[in-house]
Structure 1
Amino acid sequence: MPTAYPPSAMSIMDADFTNVLIILAIVVALGHVVPYLVDPHGAKNIPGPFLAKVSDAWLGRVTAQGHRSEVVHDLHKKHGKFVRIAPNHLSIADPDALQVVYAHGNGSLKSDFYDAFVSIRRGLFNTRDRAEHARKRKIVSHIFSQKSVLEFEPHVRLYVRQLIEQWDRLCDLAAKGMSGDEGNGWKGRDGRLWLDSLPWYNYLAFDIIGDLAFGSPFGMLTACKDSAAVAISHQDAMASYGKADTLKVNYFPAVQILNDRGEYSASMGVLPVWFRPFVKNLHPWYRNGSKAVKDLAGLAVAAVAKRMTSPTDRVDLLSKLQEGKDDEGKPMGREELTAEALTQLIAGSDTTSNSSCAITYYLALYPDVQAKLHAELDEALGNDDPVSTFDQVKRLKYLEAVINEALRIHSTSGIGLPRVVPEGGMTVCGKTFPEGTVLSVPTYTIHREKAVWGEDVDVFRPERWFEIDQADINKAFNPFSYGPRACVGRNLASMELLIIISSILRRYHFLLEEPEKKFDTREGFLRKPVECNVGIKRRD
């Protein structure tokens, strides 16, 4: 039977509970107000939203809403170069700050923001320890040298060809006025194929990086579907290495998992470390994100385990990761190898698909730019093979300008990447910040610096790349970050975009279905298009 308490005892318990809540509220309030008043980082006079000055809740809410870069950009337009976006996080919108905050040898470290991106174990991207990062980069960096990247070109061209074959097939059906449901649906109208190009670029990017990172594609292009195998149990998957047909998997939408994981981790990373376990378990949106982190790790575990059951001598990212050794001559273990393969999957799929989609959108929006690119490609490329080679397109100036302008205006990585000021402090743009202060430089805003890019910064205009001094471009163009933690895969990303965009634009003409509609994005760690509905017509 339940214990019966006398009224007086119940009153005492109620009073005690009330007192606990009051004490807790006071502790929380003091924990935010006292640091604001004491101002250990000398940030009290730096402008920003009041809630951001006393709590991480402001940045947490903004990040979860999916438009952090735009919100911070508006704050910089209002307040100027320095903006406070959290009690101990200052955003600095100045190209000169890039060379200081992210410089080689400045002693700064990644902040605890990156802890929220760890799943299997720390990889090259989320390792915060300087010595461990140097060890990992030594193993990984040679894989992405220009010479090594060229060995991956046949894999890239294979899947670009598959995409073209699929679009050619649908163009033929659309010319007959037919419609279908492949790739989230398509329709034929006015002699064009109308579809959302974003899912198709996702399929392409996932199949390319699946082949490179795990030894085989996910088969999304052939299935016209977002689906990939995810290991049910990480422990069983690790144990199944080298044992065929023992791995148990489920099939999940990998692109959606990746999107959910990115939004979750970026939102979790801006919250206090002590608060993360509570919100992860209590809030349904964060619970779903936590599941996405596990599912994405399971995808990598399943893919690597599958590859290990069938050894091969093919040249790809995974084989090169297996060959890599640190200063002591030690290779990566299974778990570390899987974590690095997962890092390559995330970095290599999101960036390629998002950028390809954005480039397609802006070319469709600006028909004069599309016409100029068509002319350059027609002159440089023959009709023998619809898929370009890297050697054919690597020196095409207008193509390069189109890609760079899209990377500028649609900054795939737009948020300021947080760094912790080292011992001795750091002086940036005339202000000195003490040890422990978190600083970041928002790429989205730097790419809209009028002093560098001109007054028309919000216009997609590739011609600006022939007008601006190269020194200013080097200082302000930041698509792959800067310094020792810059994107190690930029050579691969550049090769992929050159081949993809040249091949697709040489073969097709694009129109926007709703040209007046804003190009909507949603941001987690990366800014991703929501959709890109275009009309496609074959040019030959």
Structure 2
Amino acid sequence: MLTSILPFLKDYWAFVLSLLILLFLLRNKYFNGLHKYPGPALAAYTNWWRFFDALNRRPEKTHIELHKQHGDIVRLGPNVLSFADPKTIKEIYGLNKGFTKSEFYPVQSAISPRGKPLPSLFSTIDEKRHAQYRRCVNSVFSMTSLIHYEPLVDSTTRVFLSQTEKLFSATGESCNFARWLQYYAFDVIGEITWGRRVGFLEGNEDVGGIVEFVADFLAYVGPVGQMPILDSFLNKNVLKLKSLEWGLRKEKLTTATKFAVDRASERVDEMQTIKEKGLEAVPTRSGSIDFLSKFTQAQHDHPEFMTDDLVLTSCLSMIFAGSETTAISLSAIFYYLIKNPRVYAKLMTELDNAVESGAIIDRSLVTWAESQKLPYLDAVIQEAFRMHPAPGLIMERTVPDHGAEILGEMIPGGTIVGCNAWVLHRRAEIFGDDADVFRPERWIEASPGKLKEMKATMFQFGAGARTCIGKNVSLLEIYKVVPAILGTFEIVPEQEGKEWTTHNAWFVRQLDFRVKFRRRSDQGKKKAA
């Protein structure tokens, strides 16, 4: 039989290859009956379409336009459906629905020096592992734990305000505000995680290239995550992993990993004591307990699960997720304030009245409790979250094997489904006909029922059991530092009317956002004169 087939293949290999490719593409097109859902023509045949869409760094805009054109269900790949109706949040991401994270997430796992992937709480797709992991560290991120982190946030905020005065306000120099806020967010995470700032603010520089490293890493994850098989040939190819496992090569520690390892090594004796005897055996550092201490306490409580690698991975996760998303949200808040002078003035009136009435004791160091008494500040922050959520791709989930009903459609098991926050946040029936407009008043004018509906649609931190576990820490930073900055400085654009540029590398960063700072006290003196 082989003797008859081989000559045929030799003579007609081009035809056979073309036929196989055609059959593969047709199989993709009609896979699981998904051909009935509309979308870009090429996307039905190959995931290369969404790879290049992500590589173009604007997929959030693509998704918005596709749903405007095709409706609530859009096919983004041979086995990928995007949903725009907010009702699908509960159907896909709700508790006990059986959906699991897709292979997009393991692409974001680090690699140990021994060649083993280190799935974090965010990147693991094993739901049992995630549940066990979350039980170990859940208390670290609870709202009741915020009181332990507030002094650490205050410490970095003082440095931020001082350096902003020294470098920009006093000199009149313009500031790359998006980058400056990144430095702030990274230093806050450094202090909360290890009890020590990284040094971005003091040096006004990307210490060790950590910011650049994280940006490059996310730029890799965005497009490669659309075709996870590529990661097996690139960052996690078998030759690389096996050579590490067998000791044939040593993996050079990334900048972020080296920083985390160095910070932990500085406190190795302290962590060993916590691991053996618990937190009560060591004195509290600076009146606060940082993440490293609490993760090590989790190791003391759950030694069968929380390994040294997992403690390291947990700390590293704070660098990758805890800083980037907060910086993006902060940039969005200030950008929309500057672009909307009416909103800026109204918020300043609320802040000034709060200081005058004593509701805020120190305008440069607003407490969490004080910030929760400022309704217009809350509305501004919520509206910025709505207009510019940090994640810019669909949050992928895999339909359970038995299939699932979504929006009345029976979706086959194994299908990748998800929602994009940029699409959900612009639903006119939820947020009004002016959903494309930055208008914080919608959060104040809404009836209790409508407000509940709006909040249920907000998706910047995800939803369900895999909601971002660090969101409370991010909110703590944001609600404290925004009024602190506004209370200290007047912020003006370097160039009136200039729009920023966005860059979607999984998280939608902002570029070309330059401003100038003026001390508010100085402005007050000038007006009085």
1:140-539 equivalence runs, <5 A: 140-171=137-168, 173-174=170-171, 188=172, 193-227=173-207, 252-273=208-229, 275-278=230-233, 294-308=254-268, 313-314=284-285, 315-324=289-298, 330=304, 332-381=306-355, 384=362, 386-468=364-446, 469-539=450-520
Q: 2:461 aligns to what SS in structure 1?
A: coil
Contact 1:322/1:331, CA 8 A, preserved across alignment: no
Q: Deviations over 1:335-374 (max 9, x none)?
A: 1111111112212111111111111111111111111111
| 1:269 alignment partner AA | G
- 2-structure distance, mates of 1:25, 1:342: 46
Cα distance change of structure 1 residues 172 and 341 upon mapping to structure 2, 3 Å threshold: closer
Is it true that 1:31 corresponds to 2:24 in the alignment?
A: yes
Distance 1:298 1:92, change over 3 A: same
Structure 1 residues 25-104: aligned runs within 5 Å: 26-37=19-30, 39-40=31-32, 42-104=33-95
Supply the distance in 2 between the matched residues of 1:117 and 1:160 (Cα, whole angstroms).
30
- The sequence identity of aligned pairs, in percent, is 31
Q: Which amino acid aligns with 2:421?
A: T
1:264 aligned partner, one-letter code: Y
Task: Sort the Cα spacing of 1:63 and 1:483 in 2 relative to 1 into closer, same or farther, 3 A.
Answer: same
Letter in 2 for 1:145: S
> Deviation at 1:384?
4.6
Distance in 1 (CA, whole Å) between partners of 2:253 and 2:109 is 9
Q: CA 1:52–1:326 in 2, change beyond 3 Å: closer, same or farther?
A: farther
| CA offset digits 1:432-456 (Å, max 9, x no partner) | 1011111001110100001111121
Q: Distance in 1 between matches of 2:104 and 2:18?
A: 26
Structure 1 residue 475, shift from structure 2 partner:
2.5
Cα 1:421/1:170, change in 2 over 3 Å: same
User: Measured at CA, do residues 351 and 77 of structure 1 come closer, stay the same or move farther in structure 2, by a change above 3 Å?
Assistant: same
Determine which of 125, 143, 150 is the counterpart of 1:128: 125
Q: How far, CA to CA, are the matches of 1:279 and 1:19 in structure 2?
A: 33
Q: 1:303 Cα shift?
A: 3.6
- Classify 1:89/1:327 alpha carbon distance in 2 versus 1 (closer, same or farther; 3 Å): farther
Amino acid at match of 2:180: W
- State the one-letter code of the partner of 2:70: H
Counterpart residue identity of residue 328, structure 2: N
In structure 2, the CA distance between the partners of 1:391 and 1:415, relative to structure 1 (3 Å rule), is same
**Structure 2 length normalisation: TM-score?**
0.84
Q: Counterpart of 1:413 in 2: which secondary structure?
A: coil
Task: Report the equivalent of 1:115.
Answer: 106
Instruction: Give the Cα separation in 1 of the matches to 2:216 and 2:124.
Output: 22
1:409/1:33 CA distance change after superposition, 3 Å: same
SS in 1 for 2:441: helix
CA drift of 1:476 comes to 1.2
Q: Which amino acid aligns with 2:495?
A: E
The number of equivalent residue pairs is 474
Q: Distance in 1 between matches of 2:20 and 2:511?
A: 41
Letter in 1 for 2:63: V
Change (3 A) 1:22 1:349: farther
- Looking at structure 1, the residues matched to 191 and 167 of structure 2 have their Cα atoms a distance apart, in angstroms, of 25
Return 413-422 or 379-388, whichever deviates more. Answer: 379-388
- Structure 1 515/17 Cα, relative in aligned 2: closer, same or farther at 3 Å? farther
Q: Secondary structure at the match of 1:521?
A: strand
Matched with 2:276 is none
The alpha-carbon distance between structure 1 residues 305 and 523, as it changes in their structure 2 partners (threshold 3 A), is farther
Note the C-alpha offset of 1:429. Answer: 1.1
CA shift at 1:294, angstroms? 4.5
Cα distance in 2 for residues equivalent to 1:535 and 1:145: 36
SS state at 2:105 partner? helix
**Matched residue SS, 1:61:** helix
CA distance in 1: counterparts of 2:453 and 2:391, whole angstroms: 20
Contact 2:177-2:515 at 8 Å conserved across structures: yes
User: After superposition, what is the alpha-carbon deviation per residue over 1:165-224, rounded to whole angstroms, capped at 9, x for unaligned?
Assistant: 0112235532xxxxxxxxxxxxx2xxxx52211121111111110112233211111111
TM norm structure 1 = 0.83
| C-alpha contact (below 8 Å) 1:135/1:326 kept by paired residues | no
3-state SS, counterpart of residue 95 of structure 1? coil
Aligned to 1:236: none
Distance 1:310 1:221, change over 3 A: farther
Tell me the amino acid that sits aligned with residue 359 of structure 1: I
Work out whether residues 260 and 292 of structure 1, in 8 Å CA contact, stay in contact via their aligned partners in 2.
no
C-alpha distance in 2 between matches for 1:17 and 1:150: 73
Question: How far off is 1:512 after superposition?
Answer: 1.8
Query: Distance in 1 between the 2:259 and 2:18 partners?
Result: 42
Q: Measure the CA separation in 2 of the matches of 1:145 and 1:95.
A: 26
Partners of 1:523 and 1:150 in 2: how far apart? 34
- C-alpha RMSD of matched pairs (Å): 2.5
Provide the C-alpha distance between the structure 2 equivalents of 1:488 and 1:379, rounded to a whole number of angstroms: 34
Residue 137 of structure 1 pairs with residue 115 of structure 2: no
| Residues 432, 152 of structure 1: alpha-carbon distance in 2 compared, 3 angstrom cutoff | same
Pick which of 493-502 and 382-391 moved more.
382-391
Secondary structure at the counterpart of residue 325 of structure 2: helix
Q: CA 1:327 to 1:108, structure 2 compared with 1: closer, same or farther past 3 Å?
A: farther
Residues 452-500 of structure 1, C-alpha deviations (whole Å, 9 max, x = no match) = 1112122111101012322211321122111000011111111110101
Asked whether the equivalents of residues 81 and 94 of structure 1 are also in contact (C-alpha less than 8 Å), the reply is yes
Deviations 1:238-261 (A, max 9, x none): xxxxxxxxxxxxxx3111111111
Cα distance in 2 between the residues matched to 1:438 and 1:81: 16
